[in-house]
Amino acid sequence: MTETEKIAILNSKAFQTGFKEYLKVYVTAHKQQKIREVLGQRTRHFTLVLEDIYKPHNASAVIRTCDCFGVQDIHVIEKTQEYKINPYVTRGSAQWVDLYKYHQPEGSAVQLCFDSLRKNGYKIVGTSPKKESKPIQELPFDSKMALVFGNEHEGISEEVIENCDELMHIPMMGFAESFNISVAAAICLHELTSKALSSPPEGYFLDEEEKDRIEYGWFRDIVKNVEAHEAKFLREFLSSFNPQA
């Protein structure tokens, strides 16, 4: 069997369905129940986009915030800064969310990211204190939305501003012009998810196929020595089709 053929089998629905059932033996009933409960509240209706975040502490805190609010995906634009995770801040949250990175040395990472999001039906909303931006309270919650946050020093770039569908801000009452990024993300997600959960738009929660796919990935992360288990199950899987193998 070639490496290409092996990868195709490992990525097949039949293999993953069987392997997930195999792995359940190594995941406690309580953990399985908790996973299904969390997946029942997960959403891709809202997502966050982070542009060139400098500090691992802040970057990691945003991951934890997304997990807390049931947001499954985070998109990271890496222009000059590599997105790094601090495990002491995420406290395990990093394994429960999906992280997508965009780096384009010869082109625009912003465009690459935004094109991907729009292809999946997202409206791009940049966070900016500019006068023309809307307060977060005025944003609708019934359409898919990607909130873009900039780095700690400069906020979102002019390139992001020019390519956003809309701009929004969190009303401020003091001398400071902005919140810490993880605080800003938490405020925005609380505002939007609270409204959405009061009357969930169609398709707000993950469908069963998405839940199954994420659950499979989570089981793989939870079970120790998963590569050894995978190799053992692969042999059994192949032998079921060819008993003489």
The pLDDT value given to residue 147: 97
C-alpha 1/C-alpha 66 separation (Å) is 41
- Cα radius of gyration rounded to whole Å, the chain: 20
Q: Which domains does the chain have, with CATH numbers?
A: 43-198 (3.40.1280.10)
The pLDDT of residue 56 is 67
- Per-10-residue mean pLDDT, the chain, length 245: 89 94 96 97 97 77 93 89 53 80 87 97 94 92 94 86 95 86 94 95 96 96 95 91 58
Q: Measure the CA–CA gap between 31 and 135, rounded to whole angstroms.
A: 40
Q: What angle do the packed helices 13-23 and 208-222 form, to 10 degrees?
A: 50
Task: Give the pLDDT score at 9.
Answer: 92
Predicted local confidence at residue 245, as pLDDT: 47
pLDDT of residue 89: 42
Q: Which residues contact 229 (CB under 8 A, 6 or more apart)?
A: 19, 22, 23, 26, 223
How does pLDDT run across 13-45, given as a tens digit for each residue? 999 999 999 999 999 999 999 999 999 999 999
pLDDT for the residue numbered 83: 59
> Looking at residue 159, what is its pLDDT?
94
Which single residue is written with the structure tokens 């985070």? Answer: 74
Q: Are 136 and 170 in contact (CB under 8 A)?
A: yes
What pLDDT was estimated at residue 130? 85
> How far is the C-alpha of 126 from the C-alpha of 160, rounded, in Å?
7
d(CA 95, CA 140): 30
**pLDDT at site 69:** 97
